[in-house]
Structure 1
């Protein structure tokens, strides 16, 4: 079922100046033609055969500025063709069914407003487009045209190019293309809610422009690491490995219910670290219904499932630590008396040659001047969370490892209520054991705690 609603989208058209592939990670060019590819989700639409949704970035290079301005009559430029590769029904063939290429037509570009505003608010807090960009780092960084630009953004006119802002970046990031496809599909089952730690499975076709059949409907498994905003969950962050060409592909939960579709990753300019985002299915379906696309789906109530109960228990023991210079880190409550384990480089940043800190969240900190602390270390504050309420408290430095271990211990100066320390598992792990990492990630404390998964490989 999952594979049959996952498709690959391929567009091919004239490109004599080799400009259609700008800022696309992988493409194929030959004899003045360029081929681009992405993944997509096949949707059952009432009154229609089916529709496929994908990221708009694959079709925008082959749309004229006038078509982008008139959303009701979008057509590809002359000579461009659009195709969808989907999984054929099972056959008696011992090698399985052969994927089918079907012609497709573009129906509409959809601006998912609520998701766009969520991404914009995330970027505005975290330094905007000066610190973040969109797409994989393997895209050519020397090209002058930013990946988030559409044809209309950079069309030649008397007014010149539209300047890049967090608003245009967020809008391009969440813009979706709806395609018409003559295919059969069944009603979708949508996941009712996703929480941190939930297992997700993405299906997509990376490198499709180069080799469409070899990587068709590849599967990548990971976890939901965060939701933004935490209340409405308009954007999901995922600890999942998505390769170029998988954008637009469907994401499912452990029970096979649709969670959403993959977007291109946000990439931090300074480090190149990528944050994979997911557009939730309910947000997408709601936007499509407002435009007259009656998506046929039901919602599976998975709120009572406790597959990640141990993760939820551990979240209450993870705290936020800040210093007077704006540095922040995560810590773990070890006991009910307020002993906290954290990293020594929070107190000694020179260990990693980090001499200055950009306090992005200074207005969320409490002024700690005139507060004494042990030794030469900066005053430390601890943010505790209990039943969706946050409170700040002071801590003193108890121990800082000066050996190879990046470890420090802090002690709360007062214990405000009964703390919930992290449960300790004394069993000896083995290589290959699955573990979870919980903390405040690249987007900072305001997005809440992130959850990442990995496996132990060896022990020293």
Structure 2
């Protein structure tokens, strides 16, 4: 029986574990040690040096028959003989590491479909226990084999794009909480653009020998993607080996889209895992996970950072190193395919109506309803009477090495904004010139909890990149009386997303505009996947009257919302005899 596309991803995923010596850990099994030991730290084992300990991450088997594996290189840097300067882009060879560097790769022995098929054919009397399928995968389904390091290769294009997008002064951090406390993330920032190429010492059952690879330059934001990695690395791979998550390609940046951002949720240890795109029934590897977690100014962004696999392979092909001979027969460059050219996808139309609104004091997002009409939030315009509305044009680029996303600025007049006391955070901006060629969004008239939705806006990255798209479901529709007054979604929302459009994924209808995500006032933690939008049905009659007659008076009704509506948007009931909300 043929494997399904996602089973191909699971069969190609692996865990890479590194250690200074195998003998120094005789009898130890990194799949059974505490998770912090997988980062070379444990209360039970105090390292004598930085390289003395287990380090692990996820990886991708590019070719099972040839035994070629690629992973993020951070787990190799503790063992480097000489420190590496941040500007050093020289390819590293095995000679740059101690001779007793030990590398182990753990991966599925066979396709899950084969094991599952045999399990179903086993008579019930021969099944263990109560006939229930065990939670953990039997040991026989996994294989452990040693591997040799062929090279560590940098991706300069990725480094250049990341340094442009994620500036230190903005407070970007790519790490987990423990690493932030230990200062380990400082080293990881210098190693994000490095990747390791390995060769297995023992052959693997073929299953599907080679992964199909797609060039990143043709990727479209909003496309459904899958991430496959092993949370916590080598810790308890019986359960965590090759966990799959689903999301969309939230954003791309850099020359050839070398930087990929997805809202597919990953955990520490997934570094080195694969990001895949399903196209016409074929699963394509498009990226390698670099950082599963990121913060901006202590706000959890909720996106996973990845590097284009086609760009990494191009850098491997350019490398001048002895280990390259092991790869020559694979003809890796010839295996990269272009994405089929098609007409505009629905997600492209949705992203076209998202605009950046800059009040001069702060910036946020907005949605272009008509050629001269923008809907955004009151707190985005910040009491300004005039704002700059920047319309993104993805087709305009400049520069020899880094494609700069261009914006067309248009002056706008704030013709209405709700009072500070109003629960509805709304502002209307009239542009001073027409924006042509952008389809008008269709306003929704009904809502269905659980339906697939997406949010488009300029959260986190602002105008350094085009609009980002995040996916989720309409978690809840909160009504007062007969009408909805708040929409809650599971999409990731960040600072700068306010005012951005919320769309129904299948119909493309505009459901509302983002007003806020959630912050715990007790701890200061933000929750990007718990957020709130103003339903467009509340605004529809006033918008129609303004478009037809230029009459703004109907918007004034938003300032007269009753107590029940105010309680909803305060995220608590009236204060009498209740606990004060923590949100």
Question: Which interval holds the TM-score relative to the shorter structure?
Answer: 0.7 to 0.9
Q: Give the unaligned 5+ runs of structure 1.
A: 151-168, 349-375
Query: Which runs of structure 2 are paired with 1:211-250 in the superposition (5 Å)?
Result: 211-229=236-254, 232-250=256-274
Structure 2 CA distance for aligned equivalents of residues 290 and 250 of structure 1: 22
Q: Secondary structure at the match of 2:241?
A: coil
Cα drift, residue 29 of structure 1: 6.0
Show the counterpart of 2:410: 393
Q: Residues 243-269 of structure 1: CA distance to partner in whole angstroms, max 9, x if unpaired?
A: 000010011102311111111144324
- Quick one: which of 435, 458, 465 aligns to 1:447? 465
| Alignment: residue pair count | 398
CA RMSD of aligned residues (A): 3.1
Cα drift, residue 22 of structure 1: 9.1
Q: Residues 47-92 of structure 1: CA distance to partner in whole angstroms, max 9, x if unpaired?
A: x832211111112223332799993333655765321111112455
The 3 A distance-change label for structure 1 pair 51 and 226 is same
Structure 2 CA distance for aligned equivalents of residues 223 and 252 of structure 1: 10
Q: Secondary structure at the match of 2:311?
A: helix
Q: Secondary structure at the match of 1:254?
A: strand
- Quick one: which of 181, 193, 217 aligns to 1:142? 181
Q: Secondary structure at the match of 1:257?
A: strand
Show the counterpart of 1:358: none
Show the counterpart of 2:290: 263
Q: Give the unaligned 5+ runs of structure 2.
A: 1-7, 26-34, 48-52, 120-136, 397-406, 479-583
Q: Secondary structure at the match of 2:165?
A: helix
Structure 1 CA distance for aligned equivalents of residues 351 and 91 of structure 2: 48
Show the counterpart of 1:154: none
- Quick one: which of 125, 128, 131 aligns to 2:171? 131
Query: Which runs of structure 2 are paired with 1:160-309 in the superposition (5 Å)?
Result: 169=189, 171-181=190-200, 182-184=202-204, 186-192=209-215, 193-229=218-254, 232-255=256-279, 256-264=283-291, 265-291=293-319, 292=324, 293-294=327-328, 295=330, 296=332, 298-304=335-341, 309=345
Structure 2 CA distance for aligned equivalents of residues 435 and 313 of structure 1: 15
Cα drift, residue 335 of structure 1: 2.0
Structure 2 CA distance for aligned equivalents of residues 39 and 387 of structure 1: 33
Q: Residues 328-372 of structure 1: CA distance to partner in whole angstroms, max 9, x if unpaired?
A: 111111123x12110111123xxxxxxxxxxxxxxxxxxxxxxxx
Structure 1 CA distance for aligned equivalents of residues 91 and 214 of structure 2: 34
Cα drift, residue 38 of structure 1: 0.6
Cα drift, residue 406 of structure 1: 1.6
Cα drift, residue 12 of structure 1: 3.9
Show the counterpart of 1:330: 365
Cα drift, residue 107 of structure 1: 2.3
Kindly indicate whether the alpha-carbon contact (under 8 Å) linking 1:187 and 1:298 is maintained by their aligned counterparts in 2: no
The 3 A distance-change label for structure 1 pair 433 and 65 is same
Cα drift, residue 270 of structure 1: 3.2
Asked whether 1:342 is paired with 2:376, we answer: yes
Asked whether 1:7 is paired with 2:14, we answer: yes
- Quick one: which of 373, 378, 387 aligns to 1:380? 387
Show the counterpart of 2:511: none
The 3 A distance-change label for structure 1 pair 65 and 6 is same
Q: Residues 298-354 of structure 1: CA distance to partner in whole angstroms, max 9, x if unpaired?
A: 234433356x822111122111211233x2111111123x12110111123xxxxxx
Kindly indicate whether the alpha-carbon contact (under 8 Å) linking 1:236 and 1:279 is maintained by their aligned counterparts in 2: yes
The 3 A distance-change label for structure 1 pair 27 and 240 is farther
TM-score (norm 1): 0.77
Cα drift, residue 434 of structure 1: 0.8
